[in-house]
């Protein structure tokens, strides 16, 4: 909230509370003055209502003092001294303004001798004024606390929204619409040919999507988890391409425990399928290898391709660029990323520090 | 349907077995349709079209060897084609503009029925020009990387880097590549539009040349010139062609 935005003036609920509290305080003061003698209820009311209205109006400025001396960041004693001083100054001024008003009223026969009678109450009014000031300051501290907690809530919600947004964007980038629609088409075909396989395919697709969704939230995952995801992905593609797809995996046991950014390899496998296998009428192989050597995790994704194949519209460049920039962002110079297009094969290799996470 | 009515001889082309199966199954509900052959890629499709002379073609867009657009370019526009695609924003835009019907995977039976109905009513209309359709399906700033040519039943793929020049011959262009000439039914203007203008220059009303092949320009006669290619071929350069050539060479530095 900006300092220029006064909560009581900009928020109807605070305004109502402020006026309400002051009305009650006015009534209490009226009764107090009356019982302490020499002033009738009516006189007290006519004297104090304008005075209290004035004080309430001036009291709005207390907000700025409260903003400037937040309770949680300044030493409590200093806060108290600040407010006590401010309270005395303000109350003193207020009391004298009241005296002026009382003298004015004294000219009327109805309020005969008001000036003297007011003078008798001055000390009490001064102390009441200080008390009122402190109450007012208390009110504003409550307002500040409420606003702060609202701000925290709002910011937390915003952070969650941002994270979710990033995840969705990642998901949209990761999941090629081609993949999704073709998978749905396969399911549609299987429903009448082989219902059990259709159901299996639905489950595979659901598992794959669920795994992808969950991964976006984490910064690092063990390679074994990424492999699980890839397994689902390749199982789905296997339904589409059948014998045309030959997946070869050669992953060292030690490498499986290494941590990698989630969804790092999935785009590479997807490229290998859509640019490799899908372009070969009789199919081909995809090879995924990973191993740890001298504290470095090396990963290779390689696929066969047909160099005479029609160019694919959704070029793999986007996916490759994405993987490269993620590696750079995470590891800087400690990671390498190489793309080697060949005549009949396409190879992507990378190396990154082999980090093994503590198991929770 | 009466017995006298001729069946619609249909070809289904898709590289995925399941995709073909689902189409065949859905077509089974239309007794007037007879699936005469199924093809697993574009090359098979081109062969099957000249062999079976089908009345209707279901054509996947993204396939090995040749894309659906390549196939359409090669078989011409006489056979009505219904494209089938999973997702391809450019292709869909091209279809919309050029009024070929297309189905999105997964295909539903109602949409298929509507497409068949459209083919019936549209058969009298002017079919789309394949080259135009292929051009529209290409994202802006992306140029052809290869050309497809059919000699009889043989299909030849010419990577654009291997194209020396193209010569206009009425409704055809002769593509000169690696010492051979391939005839293709296409106008030189639409070929020019498909190729990268930084690499291919229209040096003459009838000639489009690969800039990489030009070794020198020689004066010829009073105020005309010829371009000499690295293969030794000499091609006429018109005055406007020379201006284009100069501008491009200047741009390149």
Mean pLDDT, to the nearest integer, of B127-152?
80
Contact B15 A182 (CB under 8 A): no
Given a cut of 60, is residue A315 above it in pLDDT? no
Given a cut of 50, is residue A2 above it in pLDDT? no
Nearest CA in chain B to A312: B62
- Report in angstroms the alpha-carbon separations of A88 from A82, A102, A130: 10, 20, 6
Please name the member of B40, B67, B91 whose beta carbon is closest to the beta carbon of A281.
Answer: B40
Q: State percent of chain B over pLDDT 70.
A: 96
**Could you tell me which of A219, A314, A315, A203 has the C-alpha nearest to residue A264?**
A219
Instruction: Name every residue whose Cβ is closer than 8 Å to that of residue A337 and which is 6 or more positions away in sequence.
Output: A323, A324, A327, A328, A348, A349, A350
What value of ipTM does the predicted structure carry?
Answer: 0.74
Q: How far is A281 from chain B (nearest CA, A)?
A: 5
CATH number for the domain formed by residue range(s) A175-353: 3.30.565.10
| Distance, CA of A26 to CA of A209 (rounded, Å) | 65
pLDDT tens digits, A115-127: 888 888 888 888 8
Chain A residues whose beta carbon lies within 8 Å of the beta carbon of residue B91? 313
Contact A177 B86 (CB under 8 A): yes
Q: Residue B26's pLDDT band (boundaries 50, 70, 90)?
A: very high
* Higher-confidence position of A336 and A44: A336
Q: How far is A149 from chain B (nearest CA, A)?
A: 47
Q: Residue A292's pLDDT band (boundaries 50, 70, 90)?
A: very high
* Higher-confidence position of A139 and A170: A139
pLDDT tens digits, A41-81: 888 888 888 888 988 888 888 888 888 877 765 567 888 88
pLDDT value of residue B123: 64
pLDDT value of residue B207: 95
β-pair partners for B203: none
pLDDT value of residue A312: 64
Please name the member of B67, B88, B139 whose beta carbon is closest to the beta carbon of A310.
Answer: B67
Evaluated on CA atoms A211, A216, A221, A226, the torsion sign reads positive
Write phi, then psi, for A309 (nearest 5 degrees): -65, 150
Q: Residue A333's pLDDT band (boundaries 50, 70, 90)?
A: confident
| Distance, CA of A243 to CA of A238 (rounded, Å) | 8
Domains with residue ranges and CATH for chain B: 8-136 (3.40.50.2300), 161-252 (2.40.50.1020)
Please name the member of B22, B25, B62 whose beta carbon is closest to the beta carbon of A312.
Answer: B62
Instruction: Name every residue whose Cβ is closer than 8 Å to that of residue A6 and which is 6 or more positions away in sequence.
Output: A60, A63
Residues belonging to chain A with any Cβ–Cβ distance to chain B shorter than 8 Å: 177-178, 180-182, 184-190, 192-193, 239-242, 278-281, 306, 308-313
pLDDT tens digits, A161-208: 665 655 555 555 556 788 889 999 999 999 999 999 999 999 999 999
Please name the member of B19, B67, B145 whose beta carbon is closest to the beta carbon of A189.
Answer: B19
Note the residue count of chain B.
253
Contact A240 B90 (CB under 8 A): no
The label of the residue with tokens 């590549």 reads B177
Contact B105 A182 (CB under 8 A): yes
pLDDT value of residue A358: 57
pLDDT tens digits, B66-87: 888 888 888 887 788 899 998 8
Note the residue count of chain A.
360
pLDDT value of residue A162: 65
Chain A residues whose beta carbon lies within 8 Å of the beta carbon of residue B70? 310
- What tokens does A34 get? 């009356």
- Report in angstroms the alpha-carbon separations of A211 from A17, A230, A360: 50, 10, 19
Please name the member of B22, B66, B145 whose beta carbon is closest to the beta carbon of A189.
Answer: B22
Given a cut of 60, is residue A351 above it in pLDDT? yes
| Distance, CA of A263 to CA of A247 (rounded, Å) | 18
* Higher-confidence position of B7 and A114: B7
pLDDT value of residue A360: 42
| Distance, CA of B196 to CA of B218 (rounded, Å) | 25
Contact B87 A181 (CB under 8 A): yes
Contact B105 A189 (CB under 8 A): no
Query: How does the average pLDDT of chain B come out, rounded?
Result: 87
pLDDT value of residue A1: 45
Chain B residues whose beta carbon lies within 8 Å of the beta carbon of residue A281? 15, 40-41, 43, 64-65
Given a cut of 50, is residue B219 above it in pLDDT? yes
Mean pLDDT, to the nearest integer, of A218-240?
91
Contact B139 A313 (CB under 8 A): yes
Q: Residue A310's pLDDT band (boundaries 50, 70, 90)?
A: confident
Least confident of A75-79, A272-276, B123-127: B123-127
Query: How does the average pLDDT of chain A come out, rounded?
Result: 85
Given a cut of 60, is residue B94 above it in pLDDT? yes
Q: Residue B124's pLDDT band (boundaries 50, 70, 90)?
A: low
Residues B64-93 as b or e (16 or more Cβ within 10 Å = b): bbbbbbbbbbbbebebbbbbbbbbbeebbe
Own/partner pairs for B139-144, CB < 8 Å, 24+ apart? B139/A313, B139/B90, B143/B194, B143/B195, B143/B196, B144/B194, B144/B195
pLDDT value of residue A359: 47
| Distance, CA of B239 to CA of B223 (rounded, Å) | 8
Chain A residues whose beta carbon lies within 8 Å of the beta carbon of residue B87? 177-178, 180-181
Q: Residue A230's pLDDT band (boundaries 50, 70, 90)?
A: very high
Mean pLDDT, to the nearest integer, of B105-133?
82
Q: Hey, of A191, A310, A311, A341, which one would you mutate to test binding to chain B, going by the most B CBs within 10 A of its CB?
A: A310
Domain residues of chain A, as ranges?
A: 7-169, 175-353
| Distance, CA of A304 to CA of A248 (rounded, Å) | 12
| Distance, CA of A188 to CA of A184 (rounded, Å) | 6
Q: How far is A244 from chain B (nearest CA, A)?
A: 10
Contact B65 A310 (CB under 8 A): yes
């Amino acid at each position: 909230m900006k300092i220029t935005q006064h909560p009581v003036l900009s928020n109807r609920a605070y305004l109502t509370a402020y006026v309400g509290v002051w009305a009650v305080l006015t009534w209490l003061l009226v009764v107090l003055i009356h019982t302490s003698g020499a002033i009738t209820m009516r006189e007290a009311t006519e004297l104090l209502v304008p005075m209290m209205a004035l004080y309430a109006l001036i009291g709005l400025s207390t907000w700025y003092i409260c903003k400037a001396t937040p309770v949680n960041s300044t030493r409590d004693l200093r806060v108290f001294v600040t407010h006590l001083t401010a309270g005395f100054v303000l109350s003193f001024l207020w009391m004298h303004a009241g005296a002026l008003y009382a003298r004015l009223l004294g000219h009327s026969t109805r309020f005969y001798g008001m000036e003297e009678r007011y003078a008798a109450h001055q000390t009490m009014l001064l102390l009441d004024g200080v008390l009122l000031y402190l109450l007012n300051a208390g009110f504003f501290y409550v307002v500040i606390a409420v606003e702060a907690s609202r701000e925290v809530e709002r910011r937390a919600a915003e952070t969650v929204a941002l994270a979710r947004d990033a995840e969705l964007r990642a998901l949209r980038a990761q999941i090629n619409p081609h993949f999704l629609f073709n998978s749905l088409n396969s399911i549609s075909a299987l429903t009448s040919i082989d219902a059990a396989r259709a159901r299996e395919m639905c489950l595979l697709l659901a598992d794959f999507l669920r795994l992808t969704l969950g991964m976006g939230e984490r910064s690092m995952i063990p390679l074994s988890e990424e492999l699980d995801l890839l397994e689902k992905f390749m199982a789905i593609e296997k339904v589409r391409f059948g014998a045309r797809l030959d997946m070869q995996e050669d992953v060292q046991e030690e490498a499986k425990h290494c941590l990698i950014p989630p969804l790092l390899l999935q785009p590479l496998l997807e490229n290998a399928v859509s640019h490799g296998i899908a372009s070969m009428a009789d199919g081909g192989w995809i090879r995924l290898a990973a191993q740890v050597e001298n504290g470095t995790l090396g990963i290779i994704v390689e696929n066969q391709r047909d160099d005479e194949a029609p160019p694919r519209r959704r070029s793999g460049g986007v996916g490759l660029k994405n993987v490269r920039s993620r590696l750079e962002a995470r590891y800087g110079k400690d990671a390498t990323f190489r793309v080697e297009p060949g005549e009949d094969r396409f190879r992507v290799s990378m190396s990154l520090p082999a980090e093994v996470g503590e198991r929770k | 349907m009466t017995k006298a009515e001729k069946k619609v001889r249909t070809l289904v082309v898709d590289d995925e077995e399941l995709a073909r199966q689902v189409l065949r199954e859905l077509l089974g509900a239309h007794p007037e349709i007879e699936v005469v052959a199924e093809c697993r890629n574009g090359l098979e499709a081109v062969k099957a079209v000249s062999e079976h002379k089908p009345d209707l073609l279901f054509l996947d867009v993204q396939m090995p060897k040749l894309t659906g657009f390549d196939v359409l370019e090669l078989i011409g526009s006489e056979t009505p084609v219904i494209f089938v695609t999973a997702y391809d924003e450019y292709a869909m835009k091209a279809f919309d503009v050029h009024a070929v019907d297309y189905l999105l995977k997964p295909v539903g039976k109602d949409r298929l029925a509507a497409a068949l109905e459209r083919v019936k009513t549209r058969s009298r209309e002017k079919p789309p020009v394949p080259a135009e359709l292929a051009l529209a399906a290409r994202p802006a700033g992306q140029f052809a990387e290869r050309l497809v040519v059919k000699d009889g039943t043989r299909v030849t793929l010419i990577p654009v880097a291997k194209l020396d020049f193209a010569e206009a011959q009425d409704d055809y262009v002769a593509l000169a590549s690696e010492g051979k000439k391939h005839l293709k039914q296409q106008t030189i203007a639409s070929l020019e539009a498909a190729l990268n203008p930084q690499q291919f220059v229209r040096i003459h009303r009838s000639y489009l040349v690969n800039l990489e092949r030009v070794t020198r320009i020689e004066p010829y006669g009073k105020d005309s010139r010829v371009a000499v290619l690295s293969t030794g071929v000499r091609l006429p350069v018109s005055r406007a062609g020379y201006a284009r050539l100069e501008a491009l060479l200047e741009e390149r530095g």
